[in-house]
């Protein structure tokens, strides 16, 4: 009984934090672009860069960088 009440409070707190972060992120996004004159260009540029970039495989993303050798 106590565990379920505590668990419920924790879940609600997590939900509130997630929503707060989402709203803050949205505010920052809009604030940073408030004076932008070319808002329509943002998505166009993103697509342009996505098409121009070389494809990346999952192995390249998941590959761990080599460990740095110890200094002598």
- Domain locations along the chain: 2-52
Percent of the chain, pLDDT > 70?
90
Indicate if the pLDDT at residue 55 is higher than 60. Answer: yes
Q: pTM for the whole thing?
A: 0.42
**Cα(42)–Cα(50) distance, rounded to whole angstroms?**
12
- The answer to whether 33 and 39 are in contact (CB under 8 A) is yes
Indicate if the pLDDT at residue 66 is higher than 90. Answer: no
- Radius of gyration of the chain from its Cα atoms, rounded to whole angstroms: 22
Residues 10-35: what's their mean pLDDT?
88
């Amino acid at each position: 009984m106590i565990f379920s009440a505590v668990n419920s409070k924790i879940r609600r707190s997590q939900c509130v934090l997630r929503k707060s972060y989402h709203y803050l992120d949205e505010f920052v996004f809009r604030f940073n672009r408030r004076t932008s004159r070319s808002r329509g260009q943002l998505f166009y540029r993103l697509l342009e860069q996505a098409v121009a970039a070389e494809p990346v495989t999952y192995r390249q993303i998941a590959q761990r960088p080599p460990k740095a050798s110890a200094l002598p």
